[in-house]
Each structure stands twice: as structure tokens, then as C-alpha cells.
Structure 1
């Protein structure tokens, strides 16, 4: 009897979490593909301002920044001053994770 109660509780909790996640506005996961930020390469490697395409990608990728910062291979591309400058010019904050 206890085993069936545990299974029921797990199923109920899982169902509740799925419903809750679907109710949160903007809960759609961002497509975390750091290659999408290649459109910003020119603005990062030179003092030119970022393009509107670059800023759109930076804003789109903002939810991914913590993941990028935790990845030692990608962190080197997100933390340089030039990358921070581009994010600032695009009005996007780089989070503290």
C-alpha cells in the first residue's frame, strides 16, 4: 500500500509541475546556441557599435549567459571587456551567476 501511495504522489507532483511550468508567461526555453552570437564578432573585435541583429541575438541569448559563464570553454568569450561593452550597448545585463 505504501508503494502505491509513493507512486501516486510522484505522478501527482510531476503533473502539478508540468501544469505550473505551462502557466508561467515566457517560460519557453531559449535556444542556447553560442554560435548565434557570431553576428556580434565585429563589434567585439573592434570599437564599432553592435548591429541591430547583434543586439537581437544578445537579448535572445541572455537567459543562456549563466550556462555560458559556467562552461570554462565559453566563459572566455562572455567575460572580456569587449563582450561586456557590446552587452551594455545592447542594454542587456550580464548576470552574476
Structure 2
């Protein structure tokens, strides 16, 4: 069970990286690698770390592109992204 969970996390993280990488170049300050610290908060509902929250605040302007990407939505739902952002005290923009 733990092994399949770890594999699932790796797949989600890899997919997350690929999708964000494709959008990161469009916006000057979007860097998908900086959001990897949030993977645990997104996939397991654990509270986001202070590092995660700092990255969410920095990437706030990138989220419309991230949330509208159909490939990313297979792995990270808008509800998960909003939940993590809310826990970090960040209001996501209306897209």
C-alpha cells in the first residue's frame, strides 16, 4: 500500500512538473519547480509547509494558467489548489 502511494505521488509530481513547465515559460515569474514543495499538501491533505505557502504567494499570478490546463486538472483539481492557497492565506485570482 505504501509503495503504491509513493508511486502515485511520484506520478502526480512528475505530471505536475511537466504541465507547469509548459506554462511557466509564458509568464516571466512562473517556475513550476518551486511548487513541488506543495505536492504533499495537494495529494494528502496535510497542511502546507511555510515553504509551500511562500511559493504559492510568489506564483499567485500563474494560477489561472495552471488551473485552466486540462492536463494538470487530471492530477490537481481546482478545489485542491484553492484549498492549499486558502490554508496559505492566498486568494486566488478569478479566472
TM interval, short-chain normalised: 0.5 to 0.7
2:54 to 27, 45, 56: 56
- Compare relative contact order (CA 8 Å, sep 6+) and give the higher one, 1 or 2: 2
Contact 2:35 2:52 in 1 (8 A): yes
Q: Distance in 2 between matches of 1:46 and 1:66?
A: 23
**RMSD between superposed Cα atoms in Å:** 2.0
Give me the TM-score of the superposition, normalised by structure 1. Answer: 0.58
Runs ≥4 in structure 1, deviation > 2 angstroms? 69-78
Q: Distance in 1 between matches of 2:32 and 2:73?
A: 11
Give me the TM-score of the superposition, normalised by structure 2. Answer: 0.59
Structure 1 residue ranges without an equivalent (≥5): 1-28
Instruction: Name the SS for the 1:32 alignment partner.
Output: coil
Structure 2 residue ranges without an equivalent (≥5): 1-26
Determine the structure 1 residue equivalent to 2:45. 47
Contact 1:68 1:74 in 2 (8 A): yes
Determine the structure 1 residue equivalent to 2:84. 86
Q: Distance in 1 between matches of 2:77 and 2:94?
A: 12
Aligned length in residues: 68
After TM superposition, give the deviation of residue 96 of structure 1 in Å.
1.7
